[in-house]
Structure 1
Amino acid sequence: MPSPLDTDDEAQLVRRARWGQQAAFAELYRRHARAIHALALRLTGNPSTAEDITQECFLKMLQFLGGFRDDTPLRPWLKRVAANAAIDRLRRDRRLVAIEEEEAHPGHGSDPLLHAESLGVLRRLGPVERTVVWLHAMEGWSHPELGRRFGRSESWSKSIVSRTLSRLRHELDQPEPHDDP
């Protein structure tokens, strides 16, 4: 069975899907939907919204199949579409609010992103913080890209990431409360 990132096999599937073969589209969906849904869920924190974004991505893929180059992997494009859709939802829902300036208190210890997802820390972040931090740290978006996409400055993105990571470090460094009297 080919891997989801096998570009030769994927290129054939894209060509067949362009020609209207539903089985090819279904196979592309099967290979990539789970990863796209996982990204959308991480960014939005909402399973229903993540499902909507996943569906939007694949509908856009159908619209743009004719423009895909055969040697270009599909998953990075789908992930970009999902991230943009999550940002659009944030903006449309008017959740994008200015985050007050706070002093950054750099913590010590390990990188909080290494443990954040397993501890559920990302779910405690606001939608803007979660999206900016995840896209920067895990998906490789640059601060200029994030600033432009959110209609803000590069320094806005840097500030969000810095303050959020500082807060995560602080939270992860706190001892767990014990049930002992």
Structure 2
Amino acid sequence: MPEIQGDQKLIRRLQAGDVEALGDLYDRYRHQIYRTALAITHDPNAADDILQECFLRVYRYANRIDPALPLAPWLYRVTVNLSYTWTKRNRRNAVSLDGVIDYLTSAPSAAPEPSAEQAELLQKIQEAIDALPFEQRAVIVLHYLNGLSVKEIAEVLECPVGTVKSRLHHARRKLRKQLGHPGWVSELAHGYT
């Protein structure tokens, strides 16, 4: 609740013309937005562009944002939509996954390097996620990478909870089938934290 109250204050400040509030919101959400865009696009430059565009839209549409509502779902919706648009325009399958995997698996503190076996597993998981249709990939990223609940994902994607559950179910089933090991889907959550 303190984060929502903090967002409310920052949005109100931004609506009153205080540009420093935008910087505070950027500092609060930039990592989540960048990681989400990177996980969907697999392109660090695109993720940077999406991050900047997302906060440009916060600034541009500040007066349309309801301070009483949590800001995170709105930011994720903009991020997913921008990522979807980028992905449709740039159907690149030959993007190196090394940077994505390194970023997604790195912890803020100094963590030991993953073993070769762990790195191989993470690469297989990332390739399996890449093979998912965009709608399923977005749900997996929002759920496992960002820790959003099914209800929160439904709000972000502006679709029914049942649709999110279905996409999540089908994505997990495809991942299990492609990875050939039922426990690897749970590894997904650990690889993305």
Pair in the same fold by TM > 0.5: yes
- Which of 21, 24, 27 is residue 24 of structure 1 equivalent to? 21
Q: Does 1:123 align with 2:142?
A: no
TM-score, normalization by structure 1 = 0.62
**Cross-structure match for 1:100:** none
- Which of 21, 27, 34 is residue 31 of structure 2 equivalent to? 34
Q: Alpha-carbon deviation of 1:43? A: 1.0
% identity of equivalent residues: 26
**Cross-structure match for 1:82:** 79
- Distance in 2 between the 1:46 and 1:27 partners? 25
Quick check: 1:53–1:86 contact (8 Å CA) kept in 2? Answer: yes
Q: Alpha-carbon deviation of 1:130? A: 7.0
Q: Alpha-carbon deviation of 1:20? A: 2.0
Code of the aligned partner of 1:167 = Q
Quick check: 1:44–1:127 contact (8 Å CA) kept in 2? Answer: no
Inter-CA distance 128–44: structure 2 relative to 1 (3 Å threshold): farther
**Cross-structure match for 1:168:** 179
> How large is the Cα RMSD of the aligned pairs?
3.7
SS of equivalent to 1:129: coil
Inter-CA distance 12–166: structure 2 relative to 1 (3 Å threshold): same
Mind listing any 5+ residue stretches in structure 2 that lack a counterpart? 94-117, 185-193
Higher percent of residues as helix: 2
> Matches of residues 1-150 of structure 1 in structure 2 within 5 Å?
6-94=3-91, 119-125=122-128, 127=130, 129=132, 131-137=134-140, 138=143, 140=150, 141=153
- Distance in 1 between the 2:124 and 2:73 partners? 26
- Distance in 2 between the 1:53 and 1:84 partners? 10
Q: Alpha-carbon deviation of 1:59? A: 1.0
- Distance in 1 between the 2:8 and 2:169 partners? 40
- Distance in 1 between the 2:60 and 2:180 partners? 43
Quick check: 1:57–1:78 contact (8 Å CA) kept in 2? Answer: yes
Inter-CA distance 89–171: structure 2 relative to 1 (3 Å threshold): farther
When Rg is computed on C-alpha atoms for both structures, the one with the higher figure is 1
